[in-house]
Amino acid sequence: MHSIHDKLAIEEIRKRLRIEPGHVRRLRNAFYKKQETPAEALEQLPAPQRRIFGSEVAFHFLTCHSRHDSQLDGASKLLYRTASGQMIESVILRIASGRTSLCVSSQAGCAVGCCFCATGQLGMARSLTHHEILDQVIQANRALGAEGRSIRNVVFMGMGEPMLNETEVYKALNVLLSPQCFDLSPAKILVSTVGIPDAMVRCAERFPRLGMALSLHSARQAQRERLIPLARRYPLARLRKAMEHVTSIQRRPLMVEYLLLAGLNDTDQDLSELLCYLRGLRVHVNLIPYNVIANATGLIGTAAERRCWFAARLTEAGFTATVRYSLGADIAAACGQLARLETAPA
Ligand code: SAH
Ligand code: SF4
C-alpha cells in the first residue's frame, strides 16, 4: 500500500494506470484543500482507474478514538490510536478572531521527560511517521469543514519533541507547504522544541520562513536541568549560539517559551538571569501558565499577578512579551494528559 502523501509513489501509479496529471491534481485539491473524504476525492479520477488507485493508495493512517469539546471555549481535543496501538492527541484551537489552529503531535510519548509535562511522564517515545503527523491535520480539517472552518495555522506543540524526529517532521512540513497539497504559508506554522541546538539550526536553514519556538523555561543551568533532564546534554551557552544562528537566518523573531513555576524559575534572580541571557537576541517571550498535571507533586504555577509583573519587566527591558492564554482547560488540563490516561494500563 502506498501513501497519498508520497509524491513519487503516486506519480508511479499515475503513469502505470495512465491517468492524466490533471486528474491527480484535482484529486489532491479535493483531498487536501476542499476537506473531502477519500471516496469523494477519488471521484476526480476516471471511473476505470478509480478502484485500482483506491485499492493501492492509503489516505488515512490513524483511527480517531474520541473527540472532546471544551464547554468553556473553542478548543476540541481529538484522540487517535496509531496502527501499533499508541494513543496520541491533537488540539483544535478556535481563536476568537475566527482563526483556527491545530496543535499536532510529532511522537507518541516523549523521551525527554520534563517534570512538568504529561507526555514526558509517558517516558517512552515512538516517533510518528509523516503520514501519521499529516493525518492529524487531514482529520481535524475534515471535522472543521462541517463548521465552515479550515485550519490556517499548524503548531508542533502536541506530544513529543519534533527535533528528535527531524526526518519525518521535515517530510510533513514539505507536504503542509506544498502548493499542490495543503499550501500553507510557512509563517503559519510553528515548531516548538525543547532546545536541540544542531537540529534548530538545520531546521532554520531548511525552512527559513518557518516559525520556531524554544522552550527555555530557565536561564539558569542547574535549574533548567531540574526541569528538563536533556538540558544536561545541551548547556545554555551552546543553546545561546544556536539561537543567534537561528535568528540570523530567520526574518521573524524566535519565540522563547517560559513556563512559570512558583519558586522554581520566577524569582527576581531568575528574571535578571533571563534578561541577561536574552540580551541582544531578537526574541518574543511567551510566558506560559502552568497546567496542573497528575503525579507532579511540588509544582505550583506562578500566580497571575506575578506573571504580569514578569511580562512587564521583560517589556521594560525591550523584549516583546506576552502571557499565553490557555484554551481547553476543562478537556485537557495539559497536552498529553488524555493520551496518557488512555495509554496507562488499567
Ligand atoms: N517538545 C516540544 C513541543 C511539545 S511541548 C517542547 O517541549 O517545546 C509544547 C509546550 O507545552 C512546551 O513549551 C512545553 O514546555 C509546554 N508544556 C508542557 N507541559 C506543560 C504544562 N503542564 N503546563 C503548561 N505548559 C506545558
Ligand atoms: Fe517532551 Fe516537550 Fe513534554 Fe519536554 S515539554 S517532555 S520535550 S513534549
Helices (H), 233-303: 236-249, 268-278
Residues annotated as catalytic are: 89, 335
Is the C-beta atom of 160 inside 6 A of ligand 2? yes
pLDDT lower than 50: segments of the chain: 345-346
Give the closest residue (by CA) to ligand 2 atom 4.
Answer: 114
Give the closest residue (by CA) to ligand 1 atom 21.
Answer: 291
Q: How close is the Cα of 110 to the center of ligand 2, in Å?
A: 6
Give the closest residue (by CA) to ligand 1 atom 18.
Answer: 117
Ligand nearest to the CA of 214: 1
If one residue of 215, 226, 292, 327 were mutated to test the ligand 1 pocket, choosing by the most ligand atoms within 8 A of its CB, it would be 215
C-alpha span between 294 and 290 (Å, rounded): 12
Is the C-beta atom of 285 inside 6 A of ligand 2? no
Query: What is the predicted pLDDT for the residue at 346?
Result: 37
Q: Is the pTM of this model over 0.85?
A: yes
Cβ contact 148:107 at 8 Å: no
Ligand nearest to the CA of 162: 1
Q: What is the pLDDT of residues 257-301, one digit of tens each?
A: 999 999 999 999 999 999 999 999 999 999 999 998 888 888 999
C-alpha span between 286 and 276 (Å, rounded): 17
Sort strands 75-82 and 62-69 into parallel, antiparallel or unpaired.
Answer: antiparallel
| Atom nearest to 291 CA in ligand 1 | 23
CATH superfamily of 62-331: Aldolase class I (3.20.20.70)
Domain residues of the chain, as ranges? 2-58, 62-331
